[in-house]
Amino acid sequence: MSDAAQPTAAEVRAAAEAVKTALDRHLAAVERRSGEDDPAVYEAFNELAAAAEAYDELLYDRYDEVTPFEIPGTEDTLPPYAGPEEPNAISVLIRRDYSVAEPQRLLAQAERVEAAEYGDGADTEASGTVHGALGVLFGEFEPDEIASRHKEFGLEEGDATLWVTAADDPADPGEWLEAPFEQVDPQRVVCRFDVSAVFDDEIDDGIDDVTGDGDLEDELDLDGDEDLEPLDADR
């Protein structure tokens, strides 16, 4: 990082003061808590975590130093479930990340789809760019099929997550289409499943700790597609 891009000493100091303020607010919320699942404590906890993370980053960028704080991940911060005991409706939110590893393969697949659908009248401009090819393929294939055949389309899998959230009543038609992923209440998450290469790394580390080598990899299924980590909403 260049000197010009580094945070100033004043910015680091301000971040440290923000951590102190967040600590005071968190303690005050804990002292005033109205029950085990007080949302004010949960909010203060998240604010403290964010302030500590910001300070840690600025401290490292400016002075190449770190703090002893460990910022909890999503698994540790998912609040207790507070939705209806018998939901009348659920929403399933899915995110899958991909990188375009082979653009030419992606373009070729999109061209084949257009040729099969339109013949000589295919609009080659639609499949002639990466963003156009993505539109063609995702318009032709279901997301689950793309997930299972992503290598054929020149894509490389990244992280993925699936959230199941509870609702009192089904949404009205068109109600959330303009902003489908906004206003998700973490306390209504019934369960979630995450897929990430991070889980592969954790498994590999554990194997090395026990055996000192990777011999057990042949006996374990370490395919990233199978590393589903359920995060219970009561955690």
On whether residue 46 sits in a domain, the answer given is: yes
Burial label for 204, CB within 10 Å (0-12, 13-18, 19+), is middle
Say if residues 124 and 115 touch (Cβ distance below 8 Å): no
Percent above pLDDT 70 for the chain? 75
| pLDDT given for residue 34 in this prediction | 85
Into how many domains does the chain fold? 2
Q: Is residue 67 part of a domain?
A: yes
Last residue of a domain, one of 72, 99, 128: 72
Whether 223 shows a pLDDT value over 60: the answer reads no
Residues 135 and 205 in one domain: yes
pLDDT of residue 225: 43
One domain for residues 14 and 61: yes
The H or E element that residue 133 is part of is: helix 130-140
Residue 25: pLDDT over 90: yes
CA–CA dist 48, 61 (Å, integer): 20
The pLDDT tens digits for 128-161 are 899 999 999 999 999 999 999 999 999 999 999 9
Q: Say if residue 234's pLDDT is above 90.
A: no
Q: Is residue 78 part of a domain?
A: no
| Region label for 230, one of left (φ > 0), alpha (ψ between -120 and 50) or beta (otherwise) | beta
Same domain? 60 vs 146: no
Please, what is the end-to-end C-alpha distance for the chain in angstroms? 38
Q: How far apart are CA 44 and CA 23, in angstroms?
A: 8
> Could you count the other beta carbons within 10 Å of the beta carbon of residue 109?
22
Is 221 found in the same domain as 134?
A: yes
Domain that holds residue 130: 89-232
Other Cβ atoms within 10 Å of 64 Cβ, number: 8
Together in a domain, 108 and 216: yes
- Mean pLDDT value across residues 205-221: 46
H or E segment and range at residue 90: strand 89-100
Q: Please check whether residues 93 and 37 belong to one and the same domain.
A: no
Is residue 42 domain-shared with residue 120, that is, in the same domain?
no
**Same domain assignment for residues 65 and 142:** no
CA distances from 199 to 27, 80, 204 (A): 33, 24, 9
Polymer length in residues for the chain: 235
Co-location of 38 and 133 in the same domain: no
Q: Are residues 124 and 227 in the same domain?
A: yes
Q: For residue 46, what pLDDT band results from cuts at 50, 70 and 90?
A: confident
CA–CA distance, 132 with 157 (Å, rounded to integer): 20
Shared-domain flag, residues 184 and 123 = yes
Residue 46, CA distances (Å) to 29, 165, 219 in order: 12, 20, 40
Last residue of a domain, one of 46, 72, 98: 72
83 within some domain:
no
Per-residue pLDDT tens digits for 81-110: 888 888 999 999 999 999 999 999 999 999
Domain boundary among 72, 103, 131: 72
Structure tokens at 227: 């590393």
Same domain as 103, residue 17: no
